[in-house]
Amino acid sequence: MREAEIRRLLAANLLCVLSVILTAIVPAFSLEGFTVVGAHLTWMCICSVSVSALSVALHLVLKPNLPPKRSSFAHKISRFLKCCIYFFMSCVLFHVIIVLYGAPFIESVTETFLLSVLLSTFTTLQCLCMLGPNVHAWLRVFSKNGATSIWESSLQITSMCSILGAWFGAFPIPLDWDRPWQVWPISCSLGATFGYVAGLIIAPLWIHWNRKQLTYKSR
């Protein structure tokens, strides 16, 4: 396994970490009284847009998964529209799952949907950038020993860490601490964000430490 490829992955992931950190700092200079907790819905929108834009830009620059052949303009347009539909379906699916796990069904619909968008940005959008609207490729990557590159291994780790972070973030909500960050869905979105950031940092380190044991077979 080439060390240069791992360094590229580490650099790309650190840029994503930096973009998340900046979403909590930069808006405070232009939005009066902005804080992640106090203006949480605004922050979730900013974070989703920033991570999405950087993820697409990094994919276009680094091209971790090259297509087998050049495609026509019509095919690219069709692929883009499919990606948009898949992302929207992911947001709806996450919204339904979150409600089934106990989120308010009628109240706080906007908050729940924005949490779904944030989770889709951390998970589905990354899959769309790397694998495209190919469900079979998604199932392969998230199956046991299904990754065929370090980029796909990183995708596995960051996606799982994001979902687990959101799940663990729900634990403090029913506690009677009366903290501002216990309001729905602040702790869940912060948990998902911390999980995403942790996954970005852990993935290249784990791949580096286990590079001798990792063998990728092309499929």
Please give the backbone phi and psi of residue 104, each rounded to the nearest 5 degrees, phi first. -55, 135
47 inside domain: yes
User: Which single residue is written with the structure tokens 């992640």?
Assistant: 36
Q: What is residue 105's predicted lDDT score, i.e. its pLDDT?
A: 85
Q: What is residue 1's predicted lDDT score, i.e. its pLDDT?
A: 52
The structure's pTM equals 0.92
199 inside domain: yes
Integer Cα distance of 187 and 212 in angstroms: 38
**DSSP helix/strand/coil, 34:** coil
67 inside domain: no
Q: What is residue 63's predicted lDDT score, i.e. its pLDDT?
A: 76
71 inside domain: no
One-letter amino acid identity for 204? P
Q: Which domain holds residue 49?
A: 1-58+76-217
48 inside domain: yes
Q: What is residue 177's predicted lDDT score, i.e. its pLDDT?
A: 83
64 inside domain: no
The total number of structural domains that make up the chain: 1
Average pLDDT by consecutive 10-residue portion of the chain (219 residues)?
84 96 94 91 97 94 67 83 96 96 89 97 95 90 84 94 96 87 94 98 92 67
| CA pseudo-torsion sign 131, 137, 139, 144 | negative
